[in-house]
């Protein structure tokens, strides 16, 4: 498989997107290196990450093993699988399905989200783009978890930053990565089923 720069840039963009940050300081790359090791049990040196991001002069070729580790960090099997998913993606488009912007919600409103195969969560808006999971079924997420996400859209993956609860540390997480959310319902002032 030949690697082109746009595929590498797409990988970098997705890592920054799920991390909610642009990597621009030495400590950013150190934190990313540690996070990659914790998630994949494989290491990428800080200098390799800096080169990849263009923080220091970049080499012409990027090792496939580096791209595979970064892809696994995002939840893909390898770089080829990442590229395969990306090749079927439309690069940009307006979301025309049901879209909920957290900034339009009132504190206390509840939503139900679901994704394949049978995952379901009841969530409550806490303000400032934060949601509390009230009920979770057939998922690694647990009740009491607080996550952050500015937009929730039907038929789109939900990228969230887990703040407390499910994992021992703050961590980006994606649900419905391949098929997106299959359920998105809003309950105005409904009592929670906690």
5-9, 10-14, 76-80, 95-99: the lowest-pLDDT one: 95-99
Confidence check: pLDDT of 30 > 60: yes
Given a cut of 70, whether residue 94 has pLDDT beyond it is no
Lowest mean pLDDT among 86-90, 100-104, 118-122, 143-147: 86-90
52-72: average pLDDT: 85
Of the candidates 40, 166, 157, the one whose C-alpha atom is nearest the C-alpha of residue 97 is 157
User: What pLDDT sits at residue 95?
Assistant: 65
pLDDT at 90: 53
Residue 158 forms beta bridges with which residues? Answer: 175
Query: Is pLDDT at 190 greater than 60 in this prediction?
Result: no
CB-neighbour burial class of residue 155 (10 A; exposed 0-12, middle 13-18, buried 19+): middle
Q: What is the DSSP letter of 154?
A: B
Reported pTM: 0.51
Place 193 in a pLDDT band, splitting at 50, 70 and 90. very low
Confidence (pLDDT) at 102: 93
Is 113:129 a contact under the CB 8 Å cutoff? no
Q: Which of 18-32, 89-103, 104-118 has the lowest mean pLDDT?
A: 89-103
Confidence bin at 9 (pLDDT 50/70/90):
confident
Under the banding of pLDDT at 50, 70 and 90, the label for residue 92 is low
CA 140 to chain centre: 15
Cis peptide before 62 (omega within 30 of 0): no
The residue-averaged pLDDT of 66-94 equals 82
Residue 152 pLDDT exceeds 60: yes
Domain map (residue ranges) of the chain: 5-87, 99-187
* CB neighbour list of residue 80: distance below 8 Å, 6 or more residues apart: 1
Average pLDDT, integer, range 88-93: 59
């Amino acid at each position: 498989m030949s690697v082109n720069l746009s595929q590498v840039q797409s990988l970098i963009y997705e890592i920054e997107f799920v991390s909610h940050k642009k990597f621009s300081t030495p400590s950013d790359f150190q934190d990313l290196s540690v996070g990659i090791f914790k998630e994949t049990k494989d290491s990428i040196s800080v200098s390799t990450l800096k080169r990849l991001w263009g923080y220091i002069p970049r080499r012409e070729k990027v090792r496939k093993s580096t791209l595979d580790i970064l892809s696994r960090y995002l939840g893909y099997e390898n770089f080829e699988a990442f590229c395969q998913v990306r090749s079927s993606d439309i690069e940009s488009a307006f979301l025309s399905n049901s879209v909920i912007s957290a900034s339009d919600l009132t504190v206390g409103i509840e939503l139900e989200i679901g994704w394949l195969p049978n995952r379901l969560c009841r969530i409550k808006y806490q303000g400032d783009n934060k949601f509390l999971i009230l009920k979770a079924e057939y998922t690694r997420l647990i009740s009491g978890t607080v996550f952050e996400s500015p937009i929730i859209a039907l038929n789109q993956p939900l990228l969230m930053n887990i703040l407390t609860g499910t994992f021992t540390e703050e961590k980006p997480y994606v649900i419905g990565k391949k098929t997106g959310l299959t359920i998105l319902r809003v309950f105005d002032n409904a009592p929670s089923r906690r």
